[in-house]
């Protein structure tokens, strides 16, 4: 599965709705957690794009290689965040149901 498909899953995933009385603050924390994961994925994507753009502007082969390596690192970070997100989402949904 590509990273983009995983991201679409993350974006499509909805935090569980808390329906039990008194669970409002907990539901807000869960929503915020989901927001943080989504923001983290976007930050990694943005950083990757910046490194890729910088590499296209770079004439020095060694520096260009370093920038592309940084871009690859950001992609790895994005994938790791998505995996962790899925773990957390499964755990939270298991606790709600």
From CA 76, how far away is CA 47, in angstroms rounded?
Answer: 12
Residue 42 lies in a domain: yes
Q: Is the pLDDT of residue 78 over 70?
A: yes
Residue ranges making up the domain that contains 43: 3-9+23-96
Q: What are 35's two structure tokens?
A: 């927001």
pLDDT single digits (tens) 54-74: 999 999 999 999 999 999 999
Is there a domain that residue 16 lies in? no
Tell whether 55 is covered by a domain: yes
Its pTM stands at 0.70
- Average of pLDDT values for 48-56? 99
Q: Domains in the chain: how many in total?
A: 1
Q: What percent of the chain has pLDDT over 90?
A: 57
Listed in sequence order, the DSSP H helices in the chain are 3-12, 24-57, 61-96
* Nearest CA-CA partner of 5 in 65, 78, 84, 70: 78
Q: How far apart are the first and last CA of the chain?
A: 27
pLDDT above 50 for 22: no
Mean pLDDT along residues 66-89: 96
29 vs 81: CA distance, rounded Å: 18
Within a domain: 14: no
Within-domain flag for 17: no
């Amino acid at each position: 599965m590509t990273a983009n498909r995983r991201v679409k899953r993350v974006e499509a995933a909805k935090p569980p709705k808390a329906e039990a009385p008194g669970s409002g603050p907990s539901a807000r924390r869960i929503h915020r957690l989901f927001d943080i994961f989504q923001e983290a994925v976007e930050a990694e994507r943005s950083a990757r794009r910046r490194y890729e753009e910088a590499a296209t502007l770079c004439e020095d082969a060694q520096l260009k290689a370093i920038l592309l390596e940084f871009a690859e690192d950001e992609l790895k970070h994005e994938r790791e965040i998505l995996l962790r997100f899925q773990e957390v989402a499964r755990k939270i949904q298991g606790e709600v149901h």
